[in-house]
Chain A
Amino acid sequence: MAVLEVDKLKMYYSTREGDVRAVDDVSFTLEKGTTLGIAGESGSGKSSLAYTLMKLLPQNGSIRGGKIIIAGVDVSDMPEGEVRSKVRWKHISLVPQSAMNALNPVFKVGEQISEAILVHQDTDPDIAIEKSKQMLELVGIDPRRYDSYPHELSGGMRQRAMIAMALVLNPDIIVADEPTTALDVIVQAQIIQLLKDLKRTLSMSLVLITHDLSLVAEMSDMVIIFYAGQIVEYGSSEALFVTPAHPYTFGLIHAFPNLKGPKTKLISIPGSPPDLVAPPSGCRFNPRCQFATQICREVEPELRSLNGGRLVRCHHAEEVLAKSVR
């Protein structure tokens, strides 16, 4: 069962230079109880996608088309008041990027969690406090820490508190935007384990947005590789990481070292991500692509399906696939 359906979603930022096409014709579905990893580099539009799903956009950002269907209802043009009272936090909630700094330093951690309940739901304050304490316990924080201020907690505990806050109204979907980026590896592993455990016990669905391919590989069932505001490849985690079909995925996998396994020469992807005001003509990846030919510079490739339920946006996918299978 799909808990989230995104259909041909477009979100542009208006700037003096023109529209920045941060999310450009993106479609996917999230099945209940699964994790969808969305991986991309900085500036690829992956965080914009997260905030679009939450309908938390800055003033110059607007949805220019497409649908976001959450719990059977299209929220893409729902007014803000209704989103706040009916959708956000109850059906979909966010663990924001650098969650360590997302807590308000002058309020107690527990109060901030209770506030999330009281803003989104008509509840008695005492019940809200009780519920917040339960949530803290669930994410592995001593409920007596309800009265602590954020600076009294370590980075990992603050991150746990943010997760507690996201879970407090039992949402179906959690959008985690770089949930572990600022944390040390061991704490990162603890948080990952917590998310995995919660996902299983609460049967929630997770959208994991990150630049860290290893993290995506470890946590996701399905994976989207995001480049220049678009999906360039979609498939099961195993298919994508073992036999990538898009040159960008292929490049990423060879661009960073693996702790296990033999030492291989790293191959960098030349150039840098494109300007989203005026993306390159044809395929947006063509200036950096080792497989690019004339057609790539002229014709924009469609997202087309390969066998095994995979999708890829590349004219030469079969060629890439043949190379990665070898």
Chain B
Amino acid sequence: MTEADYSAEDNLIEVRDLVKYYPLKTGFSASILGSKDFVHAVDGVSFIIKKGEIFALAGESGCGKTTTGRCILMLVKPTSGDIIYGGRNIAKLPDSEVRKLRTKLQIVFQDPYESVNPRFTIYEIVSEGLFINGLVSTDEEAMERVRTALSSVQLTPPEQFMFRYPHELSGGQRQRVSVARALVLNPDFVVADEPVSMLDVSIRAEVLNIMKDLVDKLGISFIFITHDLAVSKHIADRIAIMYLGKFAELASAEELVANPLHPYTQALMAAIPVPDPRAEKIKVLVKGEVPSAARIPSGCRFHPRCLYATEICVSQVPEFRMVSQDHWVACHYAGQVGIATQK
């Protein structure tokens, strides 16, 4: 494939067949002979992130959503697969080249209490990346950019926050500092890994609203990693549901929530409590718990828990196929089983 094929107009990042295995070290002999067992954290995932899009990666713990996010940023080196950004395959670039792209590809971590250095002032935290990447040479320049970044996450007036320490700020304010730290470098793309799951409900909304505003105003693309479908639906343009390292379903947020086709997506949706006591309740549509990613079930990896599994599901891996306009599902019986047919 030539470089020219790599760039469609509004594609920011294209991920092709991304795979990340972690070796399972089982003992002394394995350490000498090399381990044969692997945890299949991400097992062949392909998708495109468009410019100015919020793309939600949703799933239960251990499904590989965080590893996917980190691979795209090259914070974790993929086992195989391509990540095309700016016409180049960054998965194949040497570390020194990846480092030059670091300002454009940023991350916001889950825990606002542990991801900022408690001994730095807010100014130092936010400006550190500017100095490391040589984007500014003087304190005055840095100050100006930090001020803009803090204002854009509504920590205003910025002067009031710049010289305070993280412990003087609330959880929501700290998480906004994390967002400002990513923004100050003018990134194209930010991975936000469960950015609101540690926050109390009353302050979640402020972080979510700010992220949405940033996408609208600055055209940044986000990958929003979350276990919470309600939050995904609220914030994202498209949602991908991950299960054991693979995509189970991918569609626009509205479509996915209104018309879930994969039995796993349906089960996830049925499991979420609804904050309305009058709402009709659907019983859980799934058995057991997520199996270990070191022993992936044969065929469809969801089949041991699926209520509709048949012979073919045990023997054949379902293809991730488009069943309607931009609605992708990996299920032999997509649209023929579950909630969709019960109506």
Interface residues of A (CB under 8 A from B): 41-42, 154-156, 184-190, 192-193, 211-215, 217-219, 237-238, 241-242, 251-260, 263, 265-273
11 contacts between A and B (CB under 8 A): A42-B200, A184-B290, A186-B286, A189-B270, A217-B276, A252-B201, A255-B204, A259-B257, A266-B205, A268-B209, A271-B170
Q: Give 1 or 0 for each of B205-226: 1 = CB within 8 Å of chain A CB.
A: 1101100000000000000000
Residues of A within 8 A of B24 (CB): none
Q: Give 1 or 0 for each of B178-201: 1 = CB within 8 Å of chain A CB.
A: 000000000000000000000011
Find B201's partner among A41, A217, A218, A242 (CB 8 Å cutoff). A41
Interface SS majority for chain A: helix
Contacts A186-B284, A190-B284, A272-B170 hold; do A266 and B208 have CB atoms under 8 A apart? yes
Q: Do A256 and B274 touch (CB < 8 A)? A: no
Q: Which of B230, B271, B277, B281 has the most CB of A within 10 A?
A: B277
Residues of B within 8 A of A237 (CB): 277
Q: Which of A218, A238, A255, A259 has the most CB of B within 10 A?
A: A259
Residues of B within 8 A of A212 (CB): 273
7 A-B pairs with the lowest CB-CB distances in the bound complex, closest first: A257-B234, A189-B271, A268-B205, A266-B205, A214-B273, A268-B206, A269-B202
Smallest CB gap from A273: residue in B: B200
Which residues between 293 and 334 of chain B lie within 8 Å of chain A, taking CB atoms? none
Report Cα–Cα, A259/B231, bound state, in Å. 8
Nearest CB on A from B124, distance (A): 23
- Count contacts on B: residues with CB < 8 A to the other chain: 41
Smallest CB gap from B254: residue in A: A263
Residues of B within 8 A of A268 (CB): 172, 202-206, 209
Find B230's partner among A193, A258, A272 (CB 8 Å cutoff). A258
Residues of A within 8 A of B278 (CB): 238, 242
Residues of B within 8 A of A41 (CB): 200-202
Q: Do A185 and B272 touch (CB < 8 A)? A: yes
Q: Do B60 and A218 touch (CB < 8 A)? A: no
Report Cα–Cα, A189/B289, bound state, in Å. 12
Q: Which of A155, A188, A212, A258 has the most CB of B within 10 A?
A: A258
Q: Do B275 and A267 touch (CB < 8 A)? A: no
In addition to A218-B277, A272-B203, 16 A-B residue pairs with Cβ atoms within 8 Å of each other are A41-B202, A156-B289, A186-B271, A213-B275, A251-B202, A253-B275, A256-B205, A257-B231, A259-B233, A265-B209, A266-B208, A267-B205, A268-B203, A268-B204, A268-B206, A271-B170
Q: Do B275 and A258 touch (CB < 8 A)? A: yes
B279 located at the interface, meaning its Cβ lies under 8 Å from any Cβ of chain A in the complex: yes
B227 located at the interface, meaning its Cβ lies under 8 Å from any Cβ of chain A in the complex: yes
Contacts A41-B202, A256-B204, A266-B234 hold; do A218 and B227 have CB atoms under 8 A apart? no
Contacts A184-B227, A186-B284, A268-B206 hold; do A259 and B274 have CB atoms under 8 A apart? yes
Report Cα–Cα, A215/B205, bound state, in Å. 19
Residues of A within 8 A of B274 (CB): 214, 217-218, 258-260
B267 located at the interface, meaning its Cβ lies under 8 Å from any Cβ of chain A in the complex: yes
Nearest CB on A from B110, distance (A): 14
Nearest CB on B from A120, distance (A): 31
Smallest CB gap from A219: residue in B: B273
Residues of B within 8 A of A217 (CB): 273-277
Q: Give 1 or 0 for each of B251-295: 1 = CB within 8 Å of chain A CB.
A: 000000100000000011111111111110101101001100000
Residues of A within 8 A of B146 (CB): none
B171 located at the interface, meaning its Cβ lies under 8 Å from any Cβ of chain A in the complex: yes
Q: Do B233 and A263 touch (CB < 8 A)? A: yes
Nearest CB on A from B285, distance (A): 9
Q: Give 1 or 0 for each of B90-122: 1 = CB within 8 Å of chain A CB.
A: 000000000000000000000000000000000
Report Cα–Cα, A253/B284, bound state, in Å. 25
Residues of A within 8 A of B170 (CB): 271-272
B229 located at the interface, meaning its Cβ lies under 8 Å from any Cβ of chain A in the complex: yes
Report Cα–Cα, A219/B273, bound state, in Å. 9
Residues of B within 8 A of A215 (CB): 273
Smallest CB gap from B202: residue in A: A269
Nearest CB on B from A78, distance (A): 35
Q: Do A185 and B276 touch (CB < 8 A)? A: no
Find A266's partner among B209, B272, B283 (CB 8 Å cutoff). B209
Q: Do A252 and B202 touch (CB < 8 A)? A: yes
Q: Do B208 and A218 touch (CB < 8 A)? A: no
Residues of B within 8 A of A267 (CB): 205
Nearest CB on A from B28, distance (A): 22
Report Cα–Cα, A189/B60, bound state, in Å. 13
Nearest CB on B from A289, distance (A): 12
Find B203's partner among A218, A263, A265, A269 (CB 8 Å cutoff). A269
Smallest CB gap from A267: residue in B: B205
